[in-house]
Amino acid sequence: MPEDGVQLDLRLEGLPVQVHPALTELGRRTVALIKEDLEGITVVGSCLTSDFRPAASDINTLIVVSDLHPGVLFGIAGLVGRLSDKYKLADPIITTQDFIARTVTEFGIEWLDFQLLHKTIVGPDPLADLSFDKRAVLQECRAQLKGMLVRLRQGLLACRADTNAIQGLVVAAAKALIPVARALLWLVDLERPLDRQATARQVWEAFGVELGVLQRIWSWDHSQRPGQGQVRHAYEQLYSAIDQLGYLAEDLEV
């Protein structure tokens, strides 16, 4: 039964059954906790794609409230702390509809990707009607690609070329690259595949930049770490691919 007598109609169809218990409890407890402020809950990210791995993938959510006051933040913080011990539930993004609308320029890549990969399970869809300026998204692509290169360079120096640390750098960069790659495809009016491997293929076909290294990075088994040579080779290939995309973004006109 819903807590505090709250009636809850979750729209979970189309989502993996493995995430239903986590989302049901999140929805039920969130409505009971902040029902006066809650406007909606939306699932974003890999849950909507074939990339989702029940035992490994995080469940990512967007919680939209009418008033983002400290009471809401403290309440959600306590709730997420309890649920994250039980489920693979990432910290939700907590925002207002007004904040989303005011940040489509600054965070265009993120909102653009969420708009592609989302399902609203409570309340109205906060992303469907967003529109984006191509010039602003292009500028953000350029900035993010440069930032990735800086983090890879400085991270390598900071960790003194430690293999485990480099692996972490490479995995983080590979994850960050996919939304940027999809944004570049959007900028040239091409289809944006939902899953990562298809996105890598589309980037190769559209721009001639080889992203096959991403598949190797994603296939690394965490219980059997890749060797030093594999990690270094992946670092070099990923760095080169990001550098190529950076030059491509600099030359792109929209």
The CATH number covering residue 27 comes to 3.30.460.10
Position 5 scores a pLDDT of 44
Residue 21 in tokens: 């218990």
With respect to residue 149, please indicate whether it lies within any of the assigned structural domains: yes
Domain tally, the chain: 2
With respect to residue 139, please indicate whether it lies within any of the assigned structural domains: yes
Q: Which domain holds residue 32?
A: 3-122
With respect to residue 128, please indicate whether it lies within any of the assigned structural domains: no
Residue 84 and residue 73: Cα distance in Å, rounded? 16
DSSP lists the bridge partners of residue 68 as none
> Are 55 and 161 part of one and the same domain?
no
Q: Which residue has the tokens 């940027």?
A: 180
With respect to residue 115, please indicate whether it lies within any of the assigned structural domains: yes
With respect to residue 151, please indicate whether it lies within any of the assigned structural domains: yes
Helix (H, G, I), strand (E, B) or coil at 54: coil
> Are 101 and 183 part of one and the same domain?
no
With respect to residue 157, please indicate whether it lies within any of the assigned structural domains: yes
Residue at which a domain ends, from 98, 122, 146: 122
Residue 18 and residue 23: Cα distance in Å, rounded? 10
Residue 180 in tokens: 């940027």
Residue at which a domain ends, from 122, 148, 165: 122
Residue at which a domain ends, from 122, 144, 174: 122
> Are 211 and 150 part of one and the same domain?
yes
Position 221 scores a pLDDT of 60
Residues of the chain with pLDDT under 70: 1-7, 221-224
- 45 near 23, Cβ under 8 Å? no
- 238 near 170, Cβ under 8 Å? yes
> Are 138 and 118 part of one and the same domain?
no
> Are 198 and 167 part of one and the same domain?
yes
Position 239 scores a pLDDT of 98
Residue 92 in tokens: 């939700």
Cα separations (Å) of 73 from 35, 36, 89, 92, 95? 14, 14, 17, 11, 10
With respect to residue 32, please indicate whether it lies within any of the assigned structural domains: yes
Taking CB atoms within 8 Å and a gap of at least 24, the contacts of 145-149 are 145/180, 145/242, 145/245, 145/246, 145/249, 146/246, 148/173, 148/176, 148/177, 148/180, 148/242, 149/239, 149/242, 149/243, 149/246
Residue 125 and residue 122: Cα distance in Å, rounded? 8
> Are 83 and 168 part of one and the same domain?
no
With respect to residue 127, please indicate whether it lies within any of the assigned structural domains: no
> Are 160 and 223 part of one and the same domain?
yes
> Are 237 and 151 part of one and the same domain?
yes
Please report which residue ranges of the chain form alpha helices under DSSP H: 20-34, 70-84, 97-102, 108-116, 134-158, 163-187, 196-207, 212-219, 228-251
**pTM for this one?**
0.92
